[in-house]
Structure 1
Amino acid sequence: MGKCKFWTLRSNFQGQAKLSDFQLVEEDIPTNLKDGELVCEALYLSVDPYMRLFSDWSEVGKPVVGEQVARVTDSKNAKYPVGSVIRLSSGWRSHTHVKDVSTIDVMPELGDLPLSLTLGVMGMPGMTAYFTLLDVLKIKKGETLLVSGAAGAVGSLAGQIGKIMGCTVIGFAGTNAKVKWLKELGFDHAFNYKTEDVGKSIDRVAPDGVHCYCDMVGGEISFQVIKRMRDHGRMVVLGSISTYNNSTETTGPYLFSDILTKSLTITGFIIFNIREKWHIGEKQMAEWIKEGKLKYKETITNGFEHMPEAFLGLFSGENTGKAVVKA
């Protein structure tokens, strides 16, 4: 009988997450499956900033939440025979006993694209970028779009989609190398928020203000952007990575007067709420990649045993593009 390995929380995070918060556990892989059940083995696993927030609500001892792409190794389900490749949200597990196949996601049509993209451009980050710009912000040609966390899995795609739609795109990232990459992707302006003044940078390249803001980080950067948004500007909050590791509640500065006087629209958006529409975005993203309009990077960590390190690297800026673990 084989063993399944899975990562759990040894204790809930207190401020900055650390390696000692995680524990690797083993259990037997079931062999006597019931009709309709299957077992799969992870091929690629996703690590994403949202897992830090979700883990605050997770039960200690349970697998850390997350998506993976896996291959079926044992099956009593005709729809998913041995060898099938599936995408599912089963957490940080090397093997998964699937009792309810409704938890399995429909795989996108990849063609000759890498399988790992089902967790990136063709997965949650790509769909977040696509539907944020087209359905939520309803971006228009000629507008100015600002993206924070612009070198990450979502931000790098959002900026490129903005360019495809005919916008002027501004991006902020945390290293000079990432800024260089953003310019290679076609961003009109890119800045290192650690070495350049955010407000002054925006004033210089967008003196009339910003129409749309795609926010991944929250905190001080978002404060500076909101102060510089145009009347009737639109902002989508996709994350707040700058605050996830705060050990105490923070308050202010308060920007309600700016929101009021500029008639701003601020929307929180979670892509899992519209999973039934993913096939639309997946098809378009694949076409843009094949046409050379959309580029991507992956930061791949080898080895299931390194899941925590890959996750913690998200908060120290070690990834460019999508962070993925190859099991």
Structure 2
Amino acid sequence: MDIDRENLLGQFLRARRELLRPEDLGMPAGPRRRVAGLRREEVAQLAGVSADYYVRLEQGRERTPSAQVVDALAQALELEEEAVAHLHRLARPAPRGRRTPVRQERVSPSLLRMMAAWSHTPAVVLDGCLTVLASNALGEALFDGHTYSGDLVRLVFLDPDARDFYPDWDRVALNTVGGLRAAVGTDYDDPRLIEVVGELSIKSETFRRLWARHDIRQKTHETKRFRHPLVGELTLDYESLTVNGAPGQQLIVYQAAPDSPSEEALSLLGSLTADAPANATRREPAQHQPPPRPGQS
């Protein structure tokens, strides 16, 4: 799936419009409705702008709506807080600078030492494409044993045992794609993003469908279930923290409820990995070959 980086605002508006049903907003659906979701003129009416102006926004012929118009569109499309902030960023994109060559991201030694000291708490550091840059021993053990243990997006959509590892796979898949969009923001020129979106759009129909929704779901905190091959089911709360010294990196920390079966299972997992090195793992992101282009063999 190609990313049209020249009309991100229009893509977002159209995707969110198509997710709304007129009957949910008290509008008659009508027997001759031929479009998914709302019509353009219906969004324009709800937002209090002309239909022609809204059409120009979707088509990319108008790119800088005022903050008031953006807020009106967000209300018309019933966007949540994170999606509203994203819409404002799309309407006021930062100037594109000259992109520096892609280089290996590094996790600071002090953060690695801190993670290593958390012997009872799984922790991983992710980059903007949700690749695992580093993990402590328990974080390594939590995701170990999969084809894509070091790449959480590919793990969800390409790993053969993903649906067993994540009992709530449908919700995890939705949140993963929304988290990927939130993490990259408006930086759709990132060659790593282009690669992962291109590959997964070819290999996973579910990813392709969810990516087209343009959901924005910032990873902050949530309860997630795992079915671990060594210790069974785990229910863990996680917190996502931004790494201020490394823009784009996220520190994800998992915890089990005190005195719960999951805490016992996590303790057991820790004992099974007690012989692991005392320092946090510096994981090298896996190298993935981009899918062949048409005509290539």
Tell me the TM-score normalized by structure 1: 0.26
Between structure 1 and structure 2, the one with the greater Rg is 2
Please state which structure has a larger fraction of its residues in helix: 2
Tell me the TM-score normalized by structure 2: 0.28
